[in-house]
Structure 1
Amino acid sequence: MQEIQTFNRFQRTFHMHYLHFMFVFFLTGLPQVAPHAFRWLLYFFWIPFTWFSPETTYLSGGMKVAMVFHRLAGLGLIVYAIPFALREIKNMASWQIWPEGGMAEGIRELLKHYIGFKPANFGKYNIGQKFLAWTTIVTTAIMIVTGCILMFKDAFEPNTWRWARFFHDVGFFIFLVILPIHIYMALHPLNRKGYRAMFETGTFPEEYVKTHHPKWWGKLQRKL
């Protein structure tokens, strides 16, 4: 059976490590935005801190370690995202996350697939996946910009970094909502081919593309 390239190795690797970064952001960010609800997480960061400063309480010591890990993860994401963004922007014209048809059609096809359990008239991505992609792109950009301002807040006016903190928190909560939804949908039985393509082969079977992604199949045929 013929296989069609769906994700290249660079995209798959970035996607995997992006999830790793988000895991660190959640563990280190939750105690900062909601310390009363998630201060128990600080115990885990405080334990190694006691090796250097045994008199420090778990609240202050754990918070310091969480903030350091949060910033290191932020710097790591920036360094890792730059080559990915430059490569993807270069190929922007061939992105498959641009609108195809109207929103009503997209929602109708989405319901047809997930509620009616029938093959829908999807492109490479359905309307839900496109919304997620654009939300992730915009929110990631906001988080990077506001994170840099907060990391060097002494260089900015107080109002600037206060607004940066507000939008950083908003972006954080957006990710708290969309990432679990994304993980759930990725593990949904109807999306097993997509999970296989992202984490194993990088490809879709040709017949699957014909039946489940006919708009994308049509584009592929026009390129031949």
Structure 2
Amino acid sequence: MREIQAFNKFQRSMHLHYIHFMVVFFLTGLPQVAPHTFRWLLYFFWIPFAWFSPETTYLSGGMKVAMVLHRLAAVGLLLWLPLFVLREIKNAPRWQIWPEGGPIAGIAELLKHYFTFKPGRFGKYNFGQKCLAWFTILGTGIMVVSGCVLLFKDAFSPGAWRWARFFHDVGFVIFLVILPVHIYMALHPLNRKGFRAMFETGTLPEDYVKAHHPLWWEKIKT
């Protein structure tokens, strides 16, 4: 059976690294956003720090380590993200995340797929995945711009820093909502072949593409 390429090696690698960044951002950011609720995370950051500064408490030492790791991850993202943008921006017309058939039809096909377990008339991505993609782009943009202001706050006015703090929290809420949904849907039994394509082979069986992604198949069959 012929295999259709869904994701190339570069796209799969970038997706995996984005996950790595998100894990670091969440683990180091949650104690800063809600220190009372997630103070237990600070203990794990404090353990190696205590070897060098045993007189500090796990709250103060752990918070310092969390803040340093958060900023190091931010610098890493600022260095890594342009590689993805420069590589993929030329392929924007073929991103497959543009509307197909309108939102009402897209939602109807999505409900049909997940509630009746029948293939919907999807493109490469269904309506939910396209919304997720756009929210990810929006959230990433908000976090990058506001994060740059917070990272170099001495170069900005106090007013700009306060607005950056607000929008950074907005971006955090966006990811707090969409990431659990994305993880759940990625692990859903109906999406196993897509999960395999993203993390293993990069390809989907031709018969599967014909049945489950007919709009995409119409574009690539020739």
State the TM-score bracket (shorter-chain normalisation): over 0.9
* C-alpha distance in 2 between matches for 1:201 and 1:26: 28
TM score, norm. by length of structure 2: 0.98
Residue equivalent to 1:106: 106
* C-alpha distance in 2 between matches for 1:99 and 1:31: 38
Residue equivalent to 2:125: 125
Residue equivalent to 1:177: 177
Residue equivalent to 1:50: 50
Structure 2 residue runs without a partner (length 5+): none
- Residue 216 of structure 1 aligns to which amino acid in structure 2? W
Residue equivalent to 2:40: 40
- What is the Cα deviation at residue 54 of structure 1? 1.4
Q: How does 1:51-90 map to 2 (within 5 A)?
A: 51-90=51-90
Percent identical residues: 75
2:166 equivalent to 1:163:
no
Moved more, 42-51 or 117-126: 42-51
Per-residue CA shift, 1:23-62, capped at 9, x if unaligned?
1111000000000100111011111111221111111111
Per-residue CA shift, 1:162-208, capped at 9, x if unaligned?
01011101111211111111011000000011001001110010000
- What is the Cα deviation at residue 122 of structure 1? 0.2
Q: Matched residue pairs, number?
A: 222
* C-alpha distance in 2 between matches for 1:95 and 1:74: 26
Deviation above 4 Å: which 4+ runs of structure 1? none
- What is the Cα deviation at residue 211 of structure 1? 0.6
Could you say what secondary structure the match of 1:37 adopts? coil
* C-alpha distance in 1 between matches for 2:56 and 2:97: 49
* C-alpha distance in 2 between matches for 1:44 and 1:124: 41
- What is the Cα deviation at residue 151 of structure 1? 0.8
Moved more, 162-171 or 51-60: 51-60
2:1 equivalent to 1:9:
no
Could you say what secondary structure the match of 1:51 adopts? helix
- What is the Cα deviation at residue 95 of structure 1? 1.3
* C-alpha distance in 1 between matches for 2:155 and 2:59: 27
* C-alpha distance in 2 between matches for 1:18 and 1:186: 15
Could you say what secondary structure the match of 1:148 adopts? helix
TM score, norm. by length of structure 1: 0.97
* C-alpha distance in 1 between matches for 2:45 and 2:201: 37
Moved more, 49-58 or 148-157: 49-58
* C-alpha distance in 2 between matches for 1:36 and 1:144: 26
Structure 1 residue runs without a partner (length 5+): none
* C-alpha distance in 2 between matches for 1:32 and 1:129: 30
Residue equivalent to 1:95: 95
Per-residue CA shift, 1:81-118, capped at 9, x if unaligned?
11111111111111100111110000000011000110
* C-alpha distance in 1 between matches for 2:30 and 2:63: 11
